Structure 1
Amino acid sequence: MKTSKEPQRAWLYARVPGNYIETKNTLNVLMLQAQRDGAEVVGWGYDIHHGWLRRPAYRRMMREAKAGHIERIYICRMSQISGQERHLISFFRRLMRYKVNVIATEYALNLKVPAYHMGTIIDEICARKGWERPWFVSESSERHCVSNAVATPWQARQNDSLLSFRPLVRGCHP
């Protein structure tokens, strides 16, 4: 395992279904955030299609995570991974197993996820298996937060300035 002084190996993943230009712009934003956090970008991928079968970049990213080639995944928002809570729980469970952190540039995951039922499930998995939560809080976002501890649902709702007004996933509101 790398020491904290060495740059973390990062993967960038972008997906805006049906919109190639917006997907490429998302990759540029992710690259800037990774550089700002001091991460070494070792790969990137984007998918512009709907459906799980037409997402080769996602599958490649997960193979790289499983092989231990990356320590961080940068995304814009969780809906780019999936619009269903059960798929996100599976995504987080796999990343916790591989010891990979997720960074979302649109909102702070440590404040957003606990406001949803999914946050409770992830906390239960972490407690049962002894794993750490799969989100990374960068130093730049810590400056804007009161603390870097995981927020309660009530605290997450109070931090509207740090959260996106979009729901985490379709049909799932705090």
Structure 2
Amino acid sequence: MPHPLPPRPWSPLSDPEWSALLPFVLHRSGPGRPIRDLRARMDAIFHLATLRGAPWHALPARFGKPDTVSRYFRRLTHAGLWERLLHALADTAPNHPLRAIEAWICRAARRAYRIRGMALLLLARRLGFRSALRAPPWMLPDPDLSETLAPLLPGTFASNRGPRGGLRRDGPIRPLMRLLRDAAGRARIPRSVALGWP
């Protein structure tokens, strides 16, 4: 898995970046009602994404009401925007305008994890976007490893029996159990680790 991207300081979206992003975002808030200041809302989302762990009310007043931006972020997240953008980033050339805002997209996807859950985490892992993970990979669940190890366990238990029927201490079961526990990830990730992760 590649190293996380260096954080890019926020600046308003350029015209090529906005043109590349526009096909992915929601244009209407309901049937027939277009969203005003769509570009400003995306700028606000990316601005907040560059501020580690900042709450929505930390948005500067020039971006409008934080509740409005937060609601739009949730709608985009429920509509699967971050998954679509991660797939698009995986398929684009290195000089594509989306690549210029890759760090912001990954940061916003990390924020969307609270809403989308394990599916978004797994996608970011499989596509190799470490910056979209909310902590170092070794602290997070690894469903791929769990799925690989689970079929091995029944046979391992059978081959790990001692002469009296009990489990041998020197058998392969302990390393496999340790791997399975590691695959489940940490139950709690300290806030200091999550905020310190690039």
TM-score range, shorter chain: 0.3 to 0.5
Give the structure with the higher percent strand: 1
Query: Of the two, which has the highest radius of gyration?
Result: 2
Give the structure with the higher percent helix: 2
